[in-house]
């Protein structure tokens, strides 16, 4: 080893010890006759003094000219800092190293930004020079947190007798979900592999093979539109179990959440985690991933709206749509008309709402609003009672379809929670949403699509609905929600080949297509398949949420941009004509 200690290791008890340190020059100060260097590595920072009597004039001069971010080696002796010169902000703040030997291992050019600067450049520049960005303490802490969480996960499942099995990266394209990333085959011209969107089918095959507890930290790929919490390639903790029901899976993951929170954050989580059905989540919060760190529950006032003279409310109710609202407690005086206009524009532009109606609960308990004249006192009193309105409250309503009121009020909840600071930084709220619909209707295609995936089993009591009313059929599906983000999703799988074929047919897949795409699965299900189920936990998102960050790219060492580009390496890039010829491919001009 070139070094005897890291830059965060030395303490007062080491005074007098000879040491060798290696690291990056974080900053330097020339005090005329002596140069002070703050030497940095991922463990911390140590002050190094290059000056007499330990260092000669040539060494001092060399140290004074070393560029910041250069990598250097220091040999010297640990000493107490002078009285009044200690730094309580540093763990090494009571000591310094008096250098007897100074060596530049790698000089740095002037960097486009430095790890310690407070005014960070734009994200594209940070990603282009990711090797500099990763020197920042915040980035290193995020990746260390990631490593801790993955280790905690691996340890937990090892304790529960899971077997870690690697599944293939090159597989068969089964275009049922997001777009696949395709890999052309040189050996099989005009044929393609697909990178896995998940190890779903392989892990089900492992259950049929008798491996009753499988786990894997898997890399997955989806060619989909990106946003702040999505990447084209991502990591998931994937598991599957035989001879279980949803209660077993949920209970297992409850334990993992509690262990991770305690071990990584030092927080206690009360178990079991709260649960609600999909129907309840949409009714109360307008989202299948509700943020439960704050209230602002949605209330349906359609029954009263249908009786009023206000045309917007009554017309909406008469059309079979909904009037739903939220009660923003003690906020009547916190929002000006201009601010309410901004919220109105927000729900209109982002969610397609027609407008935002509102009432203020006055000190005498009456409701005031520019539209209040369209309501009689009886109906206003009913609305206030349904909403739980009290003096000082602000009541906000959307009148629209179920979908628009869900999305609009869910988005409004989140925005108001941020603006009103309705939850604490670092707060961790975990819950389950269960009993999702099996199918949703693709109106453009005129057919059903699987809400989770085609291999999800229906609830036992809903099995007859597969034939009678597929849209009413509920799935044995469960999502883990952390702070309003889906952190994992799983289902109990179909283990009967006839039921699986029936589901394929419902999804518009004829027998020949189903056999071509999933014949190996249908075959496996005919040779003794155990009841089985599992879940996939998004590792990147877990780390983001446990680290209290907003952008998933902050917890991935080398992420892609929202255009799926790697700014550092220039990927994706063109390839040589010879490479294309080997793969029997040619490029065509992109459509404009």
DSSP collapsed to 3 states, 116-185: CCCCCCCHHHHHHCHHHHCCCHHHHHHHHHHHHHHHHHHHHHHHCCCEECCCCCCECCCCCCCECCEEEC
pLDDT of 529? 98
Choose among 375, 506, 533: nearest CA to 451: 506
Q: In a 3-state reduction of DSSP, which class is residue 112?
A: coil
Q: In a 3-state reduction of DSSP, which class is residue 213?
A: strand
Where is 250: in which H helix or E strand?
Answer: helix 246-260
pLDDT of 176? 63
477-482, strands of its sheet edge to edge: 163-164, 213-221, 233-242, 532-538, 485-492, 477-482, 430-434, 275-277
- Average pLDDT along the chain, 592 residues, taken 10 residues at a time: 97 97 96 92 97 84 94 97 92 96 96 93 96 97 96 98 98 82 95 96 98 98 81 97 98 98 95 98 98 98 96 97 98 96 98 97 96 94 97 98 98 98 94 96 80 94 91 96 96 96 92 94 97 98 91 95 94 94 88 62
* 176 annotated binding-site participant: yes
**Residue-range domains of the chain with CATH:** 12-106 (2.40.50.140), 140-276+431-556 (3.30.930.10), 294-419 (3.30.1360.30)
Neighbours of 270 (CB within 10 A): 9
Largest CA distance in the chain: 93
* 539 annotated binding-site participant: yes
Q: How many CA atoms lie within 13 A of 110 on its CB side?
A: 1
* 109 annotated binding-site participant: no
pLDDT of 228? 63
pLDDT of 448? 86
Non-local (6+) Cβ contacts of 457 within 8 A are 475, 476, 491, 492, 493, 494, 495, 499, 533
DSSP state of 262: I
What pairs with residue 493 in β-bridges?
456
Angle (nearest 5°) at CA 482 between 452 and 535:
40
Neighbours of 304 (CB within 10 A): 20
DSSP assignments along 445-488, one per residue: TTEEEESS-TTBPBPGGGTTHHHH-GGGPBBSEEEEEETTEEEE
Omega before 272 within 30 of 0, i.e. cis: yes
What pairs with residue 73 in β-bridges?
22, 103
Non-local (6+) Cβ contacts of 530 within 8 A are 207, 208, 212, 242, 243, 495
Question: What residue has token string 């009148």?
Answer: 399
Can you tell me the distance from the alpha carbon of 344 to that of 251, in angstroms, rounded to the nearest whole number? 42
DSSP state of 108: P
CA distances from 486 to 33, 37, 175, 481 (A): 59, 46, 23, 5
* 541 annotated binding-site participant: yes
Give the chain's length: 592
Q: Look up the pTM and report it.
A: 0.92
DSSP state of 14: G
* 223 annotated binding-site participant: yes
Choose among 195, 2, 249: nearest CA to 101: 2
Assess contact for 70 and 107: CB atoms under 8 A: yes
């Amino acid at each position: 080893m070139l070094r005897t200690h890291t830059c965060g290791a030395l303490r007062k008890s080491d005074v007098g010890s000879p040491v060798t340190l290696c690291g990056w020059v974080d900053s330097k100060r020339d005090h005329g006759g002596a140069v002070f260097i703050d030497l940095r590595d991922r463990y911390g920072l140590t002050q190094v003094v290059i000056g007499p009597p330990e260092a000669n004039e040539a060494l001092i001069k060399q140290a004074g000219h070393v560029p910041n971010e250069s990598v250097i080696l220091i040999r010297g002796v640990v000493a107490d800092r002078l009285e009044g010169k200690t730094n309580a902000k540093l763990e090494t703040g009571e000591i310094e190293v008096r250098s007897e030997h100074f060596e530049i291992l790698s000089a740095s050019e002037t960097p486009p930004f430095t790890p310690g600067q407070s005014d960070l450049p734009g994200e594209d520049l940070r990603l282009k020079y990711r090797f500099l960005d990763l020197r920042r303490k915040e980035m290193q802490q995020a990746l260390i947190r990631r490593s801790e969480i993955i280790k905690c996960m691996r340890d937990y499942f090892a304790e529960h007798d899971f077997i870690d099995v690697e599944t293939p990266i090159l597989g068969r394209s089964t275009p049922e979900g997001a777009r696949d990333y395709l890999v052309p085959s040189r050996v099989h011209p005009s044929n393609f592999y697909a990178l896995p969107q998940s190890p779903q089918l392989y892990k089900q095959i492992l259950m049929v093979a008798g491996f009753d507890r499988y786990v894997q930290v898997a890399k997955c790929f989806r060619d989909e539109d990106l946003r702040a919490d999505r990447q084209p390639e991502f990591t998931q903790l994937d598991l599957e179990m035989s001879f279980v029901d949803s209660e077993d899976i949920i209970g297992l993951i409850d334990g993992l959440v509690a262990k991770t929170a305690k071990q990584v954050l030092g927080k206690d989580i009360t178990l079991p985690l709260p649960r609600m059905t999909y129907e309840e989540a949409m009714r109360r919060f307008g989202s299948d991933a509700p943020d439960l760190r704050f209230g602002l529950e949605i209330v349906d006032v359609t029954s009263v709206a249908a009786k009023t003279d206000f045309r917007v409310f009554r017309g909406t109710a008469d059309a079979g749509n909904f009037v739903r609202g939220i009660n923003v407690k003690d906020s009547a005086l916190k929002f000006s008309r201009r601010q309410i206009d901004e919220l109105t524009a927000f729900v209109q532009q982002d969610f397609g709402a027609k407008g935002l109606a509102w009432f203020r609960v006055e000190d005498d308990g009456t409701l005031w609003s520019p539209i209040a004249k369209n309501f009689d006192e009886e109906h206003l009193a009913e609305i206030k009672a349904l909403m739980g309105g009290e003096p000082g409250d602000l009541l906000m309503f959307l009148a629209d379809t179920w979908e628009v009121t869900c999305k609009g009020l869910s988005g409004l909840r989140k925005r108001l929670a941020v603006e009103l600071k309705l939850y604490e930084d670092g707060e961790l709220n975990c819950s389950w949403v269960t009993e999702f619909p099996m199918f949703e209707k693709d109106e453009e295609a005129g057919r059903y699509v699987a809400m989770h995936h085609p291999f999800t089993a229906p609830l036992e009591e809903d099995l007859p609905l597969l034939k009678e009313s597929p849209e009413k059929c509920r799935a044995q599906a469960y999502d883990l929600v952390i702070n309003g983000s889906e952190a994992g999703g799983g289902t109990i799988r179909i283990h009967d080949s006839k039921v699986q074929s029936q589901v394929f047919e419902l999804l518009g897949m004829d027998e020949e297509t189903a056999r071509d795409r999933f014949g190996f699965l249908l075959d496996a299900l005919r040779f003794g398949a155990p009841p089985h189920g599992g879940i996939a936990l998004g590792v990147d998102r877990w780390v983001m949420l446990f680290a209290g960050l907003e952008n998933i790219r902050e917890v991935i060492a080398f992420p892609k941009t929202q255009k799926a580009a790697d700014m550092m390496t220039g990927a994706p890039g063109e390839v040589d004509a010879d490479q294309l010829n080997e793969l029997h491919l040619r490029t065509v001009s992109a459509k404009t």
